[in-house]
Amino acid sequence: MTTAIHVRGLTKRYGDVRAIDGLDLEIRQGEVFAILGPNGAGKSTTVEILEGYRKRDSGEVRVLGVDPQKATREWRAKLGIVLQTANDAAELTVRETIRHFAGYYPASGDPDEVIAKVGLTEKADVRIRKLSGGQRRRVDVALGVIGNPELVFLDEPTTGFDPEARRQFWDLIKGLAAEGTTIVLTTHYLDEAEALAGRVAVIAQGRIVAEGDPATLGGRAAAKARVSWLDGVIETDTPTETVLELAARFDGEIPGLAVTRPTLEDIYLTLIEAPRV
């Protein structure tokens, strides 16, 4: 697959603070890639450099084949950016807002088609101030994709959403990905990363400490299983054998039986707490 983002040896300092410390990253065209990490880990700085809004100190960066520090208007038109917070024109309707922003791009999508894509056709003539939080977020995404971008950056897209709104939003993102749009997602919700991303990277102290499929990240798939029951718990590489032994001990039904492996959150917390070498 073609590379959408290529980063080697990226560094950025703020005084004596190393915000990014030799970061390497490769994101393929058409994939959904999640960047995870605690506050202050370097996520926002990294994404801002990729978007062309912040200069790096050193390293090689190519986004859609271009160095963001030398970006042209044509290159910027290929990007869609959905910030964590956005200031919208509250008195405009959804349709007026999308049509207005469509005029900024050389090859924008049809406003009504984009409104339908984000599920706001019934709200097209409603003023922005009258929309719910989830509906406003859909407007943000519509503004991010109205220019027919090849690459979309989503920054904490579902912060403050209720569970139903979050899952509706996930369906929207999956739809964009199915059309071949490359999506870079930053989020603090581990279940969101697992539901949407084909690959994830965990940043801690300015470096990527793990990268891969959410199901196998940090050795997750090979980690010991935890077999627990009413009176005890065992961590084992052979959970089936353990369950059979317990079944024999209890002569059938095992009280309170549960077999689990580490969640993505378990692995993530271990990764960000590991000391840097």
| Beta-strand pair 151-155/32-36 | unpaired
Query: What is the spatial distance between Cα 109 and Cα 139, in angstroms, rounded to a whole number?
Result: 14
Q: pLDDT tens track of the chain, all 277 residues?
A: 599 999 999 999 999 889 999 999 999 999 999 999 988 888 989 999 999 999 999 999 999 999 999 989 999 999 999 887 666 678 899 999 999 999 999 889 999 999 998 889 999 999 999 998 888 888 988 898 899 999 999 988 887 777 887 888 888 889 888 988 999 999 888 889 999 999 999 998 899 988 999 888 877 777 788 899 988 888 888 889 999 999 998 888 899 999 888 888 888 888 887 555 4
User: Would you call 256 helix, strand, or coil by DSSP?
Assistant: coil
H-helix or E-strand spanning residue 177: helix 163-178
Predicted pLDDT of residue 137? 84
The token pair that represents 13 in the structure block: 């300092």
In angstroms, the Cα distances linking 266 to 143, 213, 261 are 35, 15, 9
In angstroms, the Cα distances linking 46 to 10, 107, 186 are 8, 28, 11
Residue 164 CB burial class (10 angstroms; 0-12, 13-18, ≥19): exposed
Predicted pLDDT of residue 276? 53
In angstroms, the Cα distances linking 97 to 104, 124, 139, 173, 255 are 12, 10, 9, 21, 58
Predicted pLDDT of residue 7? 96
The token pair that represents 155 in the structure block: 């920054």
Predicted pLDDT of residue 85? 65
| Beta-strand pair 207-212/225-229 | unpaired
Residue reference for tokens 């627990």: 228
Query: What is the spatial distance between Cα 17 and Cα 65, in angstroms, rounded to a whole number?
Result: 29
| Beta-strand pair 232-236/58-63 | unpaired
Predicted pLDDT of residue 277? 47
- Cβ neighbours around 53 below 10 Å, total: 11
Query: What is the spatial distance between Cα 242 and Cα 76, in angstroms, rounded to a whole number?
Result: 57
Predicted pLDDT of residue 273? 79
- Cβ neighbours around 120 below 10 Å, total: 21
Over the stretch 169-199, which tens digit does the pLDDT of each residue have?
Answer: 888 889 888 988 999 999 888 889 999 999 9
Predicted pLDDT of residue 124? 94
Over the stretch 75-107, which tens digit does the pLDDT of each residue have?
Answer: 999 999 988 766 667 889 999 999 999 999 988
- Predicted structure pTM score: 0.82
Domains of the chain: 1-75+159-218 (3.40.50.300), 79-149 (no CATH), 219-273 (no CATH)
